[in-house]
Amino acid sequence: MSWKKIYEKRLMSPEAIAAALPKEPTIFASPAASFPLELINTITAAPTTGTVTMYSAMIMTQPDFLSPEQRGRLHYRCCFMGPLERMLLDRKGDITPFSVTFSRIHELVRHIGFDATILEVSPPDEHGYMSLGPSGTLLGYPALAASKKIYCQVNDQTPYIFGSQAHIHVSDVAGLCEVSRPCDELPATEPDAVDETIADLITARIPDGATLQLGIGKLADAIGDRLTDKKDLGIHTELLTPSMVRLHDMGVITGARKEVHPGKIISAFGMGAARDYRFMHKNPVFEMYPAHYVNDPAIIGAHSNFVSINNALAVDLTGQVSSESIGFQQHSATGGQLDFVRGARLSKGGQSFIAMKSTSGSGDRRFSRIQTCLLPGTAVTTPRSDVQSIVTEYGIAELDHKTIPERVTALIAVAHPDFREELAREAVQAGLISAEALKDSQLAA
């Protein structure tokens, strides 16, 4: 039977797909810009469906299960939180964050198993293969292998993306439905003066020919804006961001010096604006692979001059980094930061930067992000033994191969001046550094 006949035979209404699921199903839904919104809305509204347990991440458009009418219809187990997921935290019982390093996320899904995986995909190509879209490869084939059945929402505006684990054939799908809508877009960001100062410090350290991993948001945009004079940069990144697309269009990113996938931009998933999704569509320069491959420290470390740049919420005076919680309050998730920190360390000439503004809050509620000790309950995302450099708008603290007292003085030096005296006093009281050693350091000057 031809793939076109298979497609026609398996084309169903969203309601029929919902009715085909078990009464209380455990499902995986492709995350972020590939979230199958309409099909999930149909499933949670179906009279045949009880409580749905859904695994996903970083939903970008508000689904119906957040409405008061559907309260309790879906429990969301989230492997990475964005703004929408943080809203859900106030609704106890509706969301459970969990901690998993992205390089090992395939182990988690094998352990769980799903009644169904629900995907948003592109229309089939001439051979019947549908692309998993801009974000569906984050888990990719491991999620499909862990599922009893696979259902797809075919969106004719989903980009067709290359990569050896970025597609599914119509014959592997239990049911299909069709929609037409633009992929969810990231809101535009505007770096402020502090972001720009931090970006200046980091970009001065990036050599021509380096391969980059950037986080998301204002700092990534500011760094991208400052790399325009570099030559032959490469990209091997968990997340493809708009700044990378702009740099490629300007000829800055060529991948010519990459040892792994030379000439290619490699990522595990992508989020951006319409122009970024157009860039992804059938572009032979761009390939996506699951996070367990992209985030593998050994693969990262096989690139020379790999530069990893990530954000943090707080750092203690010994160098422990938290990028996922403030005390017991979850903010994002473990993600792939540690994977890229460790991968950069394995790279010949590799560098890893953890960047953050020196303070947060305002007025009487302003506090230092560099802290004597992290608040009780704060998750350590990157252990101090792995950290190379901490960057604030006041400079770069080099922590690699440093003693605890040396780390203390380096971190106080890049803290906000309003908090340095307090941090120094607390460091002495905690026994992290002696008063004499502190007096002899450059801080005393």
* Residue pLDDT, tens place only, 405-424: 999 999 999 999 999 999 99
Phi, psi of 32 (to 5 degrees): 50, -125
Q: What is the pLDDT, as a whole number, of residue 443?
A: 63
DSSP-assigned states of every residue in 246-272: HHHHTT-B--TT-SSSTT-EEEEEE--
* Residue pLDDT, tens place only, 266-321: 999 999 999 999 999 999 999 999 999 999 999 999 999 999 999 999 999 999 99
* Residue pLDDT, tens place only, 337-357: 999 999 999 999 999 999 999
For 104, counting Cβ atoms within 10 Å of its Cβ (0-12 exposed, 13-18 middle, 19+ buried), the class is middle
Mean confidence (pLDDT) of the chain? 93
Cβ neighbours of residue 92 under 8 Å, at least 6 residues apart?
A: none
Does residue 89 carry a pLDDT above 80?
A: no
Please give the span between the terminal C-alpha atoms of the chain, in angstroms, as a whole number: 80
Residue 224: both structure tokens together: 């991208």
The whole-angstrom separation of Cα 93 and Cα 189 is: 32
SS3 call for 176: strand
- The residues that bridge with 52 in the sheet, in sequence order, are 74
pLDDT band at residue 141 using 50, 70 and 90 as cut-offs: confident
The whole-angstrom separation of Cα 335 and Cα 383 is: 14
Cβ neighbours of residue 69 under 8 Å, at least 6 residues apart?
A: none
Does residue 47 carry a pLDDT above 50?
A: yes
**At CB < 8 A and 24+ separation, what contacts does 260-264 make?**
260/236, 260/299, 260/302, 260/303, 261/236, 261/287
Q: What is the pLDDT, as a whole number, of residue 270?
A: 93
Q: What is the pLDDT, as a whole number, of residue 442?
A: 62
pLDDT band at residue 445 using 50, 70 and 90 as cut-offs: very low
Catalytic machinery residues: 238
Provide the percentage of residues in the chain whose pLDDT is more than 70. Answer: 98
